[in-house]
Structure 1
Amino acid sequence: ELVRAFVNLRLKPNKDLLQDLINKANGLNRANYTSASLKAVDTEVEKANVVLNNPEATKEEVEAAVSELTKALAGLEANPVETVKPGDTTVSVKTGDTTNMMYSLGGLAVASIIFYGNKKRKNK
């Protein structure tokens, strides 16, 4: 009996990566993605949960679930960002500053050198 039990003994696959992927999928901000891509992720999460909760799941089943869920998460499509709504007549104001400060600092350094040189010359 002991030999038969030993032969039938199987190693249980590690499901940590699968659990992490399910947690990642459940933690997504659903407003940022298209409903079609979220549907694909939801389908794979359901399948992955079945494998995760199956104590008899094989290593191959776990790896397949990880692969499919990873593929679904990689296939997420972001919602298009609508910057101007139809009929909106307000003008957008650019709020970022793109001025390069090196020119200002360089000018200040040159002016300081000239000022210092003129002051030193007047003192002689």
Structure 2
Amino acid sequence: VLEADITAAVDALYDAIYGLVYRADISELEALVLKGDGIVENADQYIQNDAWTSFETVLAEAKTVLEDANATQDAVDTAAEDLAAAISALRLIPDKDALEALIGEAEAINTNKYTAKSVATMKAALSTAKAVLNDAEATEEEVADAVEALENSIDGLVEKSTSTSSKGSTSANVGNAYGAAGVVSASQSVAANAYVVSDTTVNFNLKRGSAYCFKMTVVNGNAMTPGFTVGNGDVLKTQFVAKVGNDSYYRVYAIGTPGQSTGVYTTLPGQNAVKHCTVTIG
């Protein structure tokens, strides 16, 4: 063997060694692809918009890079960054239960009792709330803003008889103030044979952060408004909404922790409290 041949072989071996490239670290990309697959399995929980379409495309591209044994580290890192950004852009379908309940309460209010200006404000907020409710791509922030705006407009209704007072300050009976134990005070008029009929008598679960509206009808008690209370004010917060004839509407908010429950009661002057149902935080 000639020395020149040996030298050439050594040079070739060195070139081959120096030309070796480490396989890319794909651990981060693998984790993101796994997360992406989990999201696809729960696609019905996400808003199907342009961000979702982009996510599906980027996920497919990431899988192609992952399957390429010769993919460079730069290619792997770029695929991971793109997929992480696509996942971050996705939006979950927000819970609209509280918004839907609040819209129902607003529509039940007898607006004839309130000033035109305050009613117009509420109707504008109600219109916006309905648009958000029907918007399949509404974000959680938009839903929360719609709830807050509608609540504020309801609380801001002004009775025609008291031009400077909101409906929450006309009397203890129709106030929107929350009692320490979630109690709305009862009317002082007495009717021994009067009783209250609730539109809800079946026990049910209410998701934390959601709201529910009760309609309490006083029978044989002209102009009476029942007191409305819950057994544990740390589980449900109560609020008077409106009175239409013998029907009184009360809203409860689920503020307790999942698994907690409390009874819903009404009282009439001179009578014992009557339990209508039990609400459990879901």
TM-score between both structures, scaled by the size of structure 1: 0.66
Matches within 5 A, 1:83-94: 83=97, 84=100, 92-93=212-213, 94=252
TM-score between both structures, scaled by the size of structure 2: 0.31
Match of 2:27 in 1: 16
CA separation in 1, counterparts of 2:14 and 2:255?
76
Match of 1:48 among 45, 57, 62: 62
Superposition CA RMSD, Å: 2.6
Structure 2 residue identity aligned to 1:22: V
Structure 2 residue identity aligned to 1:56: N
| Pairwise CA distance, 1:62 | 0.7
| Pairwise CA distance, 1:97 | 5.2
Query: Residues 97 and 18 from structure 1, CA distance in 2 versus in 1: closer, same or farther, beyond 3 angstroms?
Result: closer
Percent of residue pairs identical: 22
Structure showing the higher strand proportion among its residues: 2
| Pairwise CA distance, 1:82 | 3.0
Match of 2:77 among 63, 67, 88: 63
How many positions carry a matched residue from both structures? 97
Between 1 and 2, higher relative CO (CA 8 Å, sep ≥ 6) is seen in 1
Matches within 5 A, 1:97-112: none
Match of 1:35 in 2: 48
Superposed CA deviations along residues 9-33 of structure 1, whole A, max 9, x for unmatched, are 0011100110000000111221221
Match of 1:5 among 13, 16, 25: 16
- 1:30–1:38: 8 Å Cα contact kept in structure 2? no
Question: After TM superposition, which residue ranges in structure 1, 4 or more long, deviate above 3 angstroms?
Answer: 88-91
CA separation in 1, counterparts of 2:21 and 2:68?
14
Structure 2 residue identity aligned to 1:35: Q
CA separation in 2, counterparts of 1:59 and 1:76?
26
Superposed CA deviations along residues 22-69 of structure 1, whole A, max 9, x for unmatched, are 000111221221112322211111110111011111111011001100
Structure 1 residue identity aligned to 2:93: N
- 1:21–1:69: 8 Å Cα contact kept in structure 2? yes
